[in-house]
């Protein structure tokens, strides 16, 4: 097997999925905000909610287009770089992706068109319904994709065809309600709402800083800031529950996240540190006993480390990567929480609009939830290594390793070519996003149609 092809394919997939995963959470977060605004508009008939909703819709179309562009690539990669995976699991995994395209993504993409162009063409209730369907479609789509990914972590609903050695589907619902999907979906959706809320808070901060549409901007700050605060508070709790889930189904990932090489009572928690993979130890700032306490509210609880055969029976992931990404995620999440807490205190005291430096910080703080989302994703996926599909003892399923999932005879020149093309496209995507997001924002919270302005001049 060609080592170069494997390494390049892994880097390519990690970068592509990671880059793609900037946009869908934004879509989810904005669609949630839009649904809330439209609901308030429908019930109270206050223009302010219509204006805020329309503003979010204008951002949504840009984000959605980039999400589609970067996301369409991923299913192709399963056939191109991971053909053995596609053959092995296609009867289940392919069905899931096809269901996502037909059932969920269709709703989302069709009704986003209505949201963007349809305000004057349909009655308010139908417009509200479109907002609901965009919300529903995008969150259903999120569920289906997270279910597919969770299934690779905790597989179920299949058997192996003895004649081909490939999977066949025995239970569609066991696939979709696998062991880890519930808590992981909640974790990702909360992250997505946080991402969307922080982006809108950053927009509101920009308007306040530049003294533009101040009244609307303050409402936006209250509205989006509240969502940001609630999600930022809820996320550590949900994340903790997700950790407990990992501990029960993928103990090696859990131990790598915490850098626990030794099985011990009164297990320490590393606030930060550096993993020495050769000597199997972690140097860093230690909170004694806190990990045991986190896992069971008992300092005497015995935490199983990577030396334990129950933990390492399926191999050990790259500990440093998992450990550091996990810490980055927690750090970024904590910074988000601290930022929004202070911002809202200033905002409700009425002093935020005067604090220009705080506003600048708030604009750049929109990046924290993104960092948390991407590093969290890396933690989950690198922590699963060396498996693409995790082994299940109770089903006698030996798993599919990442190396075995690679296309046979994959030419590394081909992969170089695709890596270069994809990265060029991501560069264009980034340019478009960074160039046109400000254009959309600077049009303001209550822009006058270009046509009307031209007529007024005449």
Partner 1 sequence: MDFLNNIQVWQAFWFVVIGAAVFLFLWLDGFDLGIGMTLPFMKSKDQQLSALNVIWPIWDGNELYGLIGGGAIFATFPVVFAALLSGLYPWVVLLLLGIMLRPIVFEAWSNEPGSKTLWTWLFALASFLIPFVAGVALGTTIAGMPINAQGVWDHGHGFWEALSPLSVLCGLAVVSLTLLQGSAYLVKRTSGDLQAQARKDLTPRTLFTGIVLVLVLVTALLSPGLFDGKPLALVGIILGLVFILGGLVGVWLHRDEKSPDAAPYWFSSAIIAGTMILVGGIQFPNMIRSTIDASFTLTIFKAGVSNPINSLVLIACVATVALAITAVYSIIIYRVFKGKIDHKTHEHY
Question: Which residue among 4, 14, 40, 94 contacts partner 1 (CB under 8 A)?
Answer: 94
Residues from 375 through 414 that contact partner 1 (CB under 8 A): 407-411, 414
Minimum gap (Å) between residue 87 Cβ and partner 1: 5
What is the distance between the alpha carbons of residues 228 and 118, in angstroms, rounded to a whole number? 29
Stretch that binds partner 1, among 112-120, 284-292, 329-337, 353-361 (CB under 8 A): 112-120
Chain positions 245 to 264 lying near partner 1, rule: CB under 8 A, are: none
Q: Does 138 bind partner 1 (CB under 8 A)?
A: no
Residue 433: helix, strand or coil by DSSP?
A: helix
Report the residue number, 286 or 440, with the smaller CB distance to partner 1: 440
Are 13 and 419 spatial neighbours (Cβ–Cβ below 8 Å)?
no
Structure tokens at 189: 């959706």
- The least CB distance from residue 413 to partner 1, in Å, is 9
Distance of closest approach, residue 73 Cβ to partner 1, in angstroms:
6
The H or E element containing residue 271 is strand 269-276
Nearer to partner 1, 2 or 307 (CB): 2
Among 76, 274, 348, 364, binds partner 1 (CB under 8 A): 76
Least distance (Å) between residue 207 CB and partner 1:
18
Would you call 125 exposed, middle or buried from its count of C-beta atoms within 10 A (0-12, 13-18, 19+)? exposed
Angle of helix 73-80 versus helix 3-20 axis, rounded to 10: 170
Q: How far apart are CA 127 and CA 118, in angstroms?
A: 7
Q: Is the peptide bond before 386 cis (omega within 30 degrees of 0)?
A: yes
Residue 103 makes contact with partner 1 by CB under 8 A: yes
Q: Is 436 in the site for partner 1 (CB under 8 A)?
A: yes
Is 207:13 a contact under the CB 8 Å cutoff?
no
Between CA 174 and CA 158 the distance in angstroms is 8
Measured from the CB of residue 77, what is the shortest distance to partner 1 in angstroms? 8
95 binds partner 1 (CB under 8 A): yes
Query: Minimal distance in Å, beta carbon 428 to partner 1?
Result: 6
Total number of residues binding partner 1 (CB under 8 A)?
81
Q: For partner 1, which residue of 47, 171, 283, 393 counts as binding (CB under 8 A)? A: 171
| Using rule CB under 8 A, residue 38 touches partner 1 | no
Residue 54 as a binder of partner 1 (CB under 8 A): the answer is: yes
Range in contact with partner 1 (rule: CB under 8 A) among 29-37, 66-74, 230-238, 272-280: 66-74
Residues 320-339 within binding reach of partner 1 (CB under 8 A): none
- In angstroms, the Cα distances linking 128 to 31, 44, 263 are 12, 13, 55
Please give the Cα distance from 258 to 270 (Å, whole number): 7
The stretch near partner 1 (CB under 8 A) out of 73-81, 240-248, 283-291, 369-377 is 73-81
Q: Is 450 in the site for partner 1 (CB under 8 A)?
A: yes
C-beta closer to partner 1: residue 302 or 404: 404
Q: Which of 1, 98, 233, 237 binds partner 1 (CB under 8 A)?
A: 98
Q: Are 17 and 384 in contact (CB under 8 A)?
A: no
Of residues 11, 44, 47, 118, which one binds partner 1 by CB under 8 A? 118
Within positions 204 to 223, which residues make up the interface with partner 1, using CB under 8 A? none
Among 59, 107, 366, 441, binds partner 1 (CB under 8 A): 107
Q: Does 139 bind partner 1 (CB under 8 A)?
A: no
The C-alpha angle with vertex 369 and arms to 378 and 425, in degrees rounded to 5, equals 65
**Residue 249 CA, distance from chain mean position:** 21
Task: Name the minimum Å distance from CB 285 to partner 1.
Answer: 43
3-state helix, strand, coil in the chain (%, to 5): 70, 5, 20
CB 201 within 8 A of CB 218: no
Q: 145: closest CA among 172, 176, 123?
A: 176
**Pick from 348, 120, 393: nearest CA to 226:** 348
Question: Which residues is 303 bridged to in the sheet?
Answer: 264
One residue of 3, 451, 456, 457 binding partner 1 per CB under 8 A: 451
Position among 328, 331, 363, 425 found at the interface with partner 1 (CB under 8 A): 425
CB-based burial, 147-166: b 16+ in 10 Å, e otherwise: bbbbbbbbbbbbeeeeeeee
d(CA 171, CA 92): 9
User: Minimum CB separation from partner 1 for residue 146, in Å?
Assistant: 17
**Using the rule CB under 8 A, which residue among 4, 14, 15, 91 binds partner 1?**
91
The reply on whether position 124 binds partner 1 by CB under 8 A is: no
């Amino acid at each position: 097997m060609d080592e170069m092809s494997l390494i390049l394919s892994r880097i390519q997939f990690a970068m592509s999925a990671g880059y793609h995963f900037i946009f869908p959470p934004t879509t989810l977060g904005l669609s949630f905000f839009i649904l809330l605004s439209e609901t308030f508009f429908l019930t109270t008939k206050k223009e302010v909610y219509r204006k805020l909703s329309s503003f979010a819709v204008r951002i949504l179309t840009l984000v959605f287009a980039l999400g589609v562009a970067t996301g369409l690539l991923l299913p192709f990669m399963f056939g191109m770089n991971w053909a053995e995976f596609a053959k092995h699991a296609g009867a289940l995994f392919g069905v899931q992706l096809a269901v996502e395209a037909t059932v969920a993504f269709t709703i989302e993409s069709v009704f986003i068109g209505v949201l963007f162009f349809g305000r004057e063409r349909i009655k308010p209730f139908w417009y509200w319904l479109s907002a609901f369907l965009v919300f529903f479609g995008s969150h259903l789509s999120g569920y289906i994709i997270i279910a597919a990914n969770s299934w690779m972590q905790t597989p179920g609903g299949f058997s192996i065809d003895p004649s081909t050695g490939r999977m066949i589907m025995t239970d569609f619902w066991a696939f979709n309600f696998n062991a880890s999907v519930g808590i992981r979906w909640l974790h990702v959706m909360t992250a997505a709402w946080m991402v969307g809320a922080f982006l809108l808070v950053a927009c509101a901060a920009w308007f306040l800083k530049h003294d533009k549409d101040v009244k609307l901007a303050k409402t936006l700050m209250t509205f989006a800031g509240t969502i940001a605060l609630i999600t930022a508070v809820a996320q550590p709790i949900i994340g903790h529950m997700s950790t407990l889930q990992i501990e029960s189904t993928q103990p090696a990932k859990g131990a790598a996240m915490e850098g626990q090489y030794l099985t011990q009572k009164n297990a320490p928690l590393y606030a930060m540190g550096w993993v020495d993979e050769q000597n199997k130890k972690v140097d860093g700032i230690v909170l004694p006993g806190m990990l045991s306490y986190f896992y069971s509210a008992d300092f005497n609880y015995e935490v199983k480390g990577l030396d334990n055969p129950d933990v390492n029976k399926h191999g050990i992931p790259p500990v440093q990567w998992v450990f550091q990404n996990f810490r980055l995620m927690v750090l970024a999440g904590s910074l988000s929480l601290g930022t929004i807490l202070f911002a809202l205190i200033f905002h409700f005291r009425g002093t935020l609009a005067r604090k220009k430096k705080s506003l600048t910080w708030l604009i750049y703080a929109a990046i924290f939830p993104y960092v948390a989302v991407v590093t969290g994703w890396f933690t989950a996926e690198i922590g699963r290594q060396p498996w693409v599909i995790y082994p299940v003892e109770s089903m006698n399923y030996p798993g599919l390793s990442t190396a075995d999932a690679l296309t046979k005879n994959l030419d590394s020149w081909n992969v170089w070519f695709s890596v270069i093309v994809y990265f060029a496209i991501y560069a264009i995507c980034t340019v478009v996003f960074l160039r046109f997001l400000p254009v959309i924002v600077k049009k303001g919270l209550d822009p006058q149609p270009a046509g009307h302005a031209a007529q007024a001049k005449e």
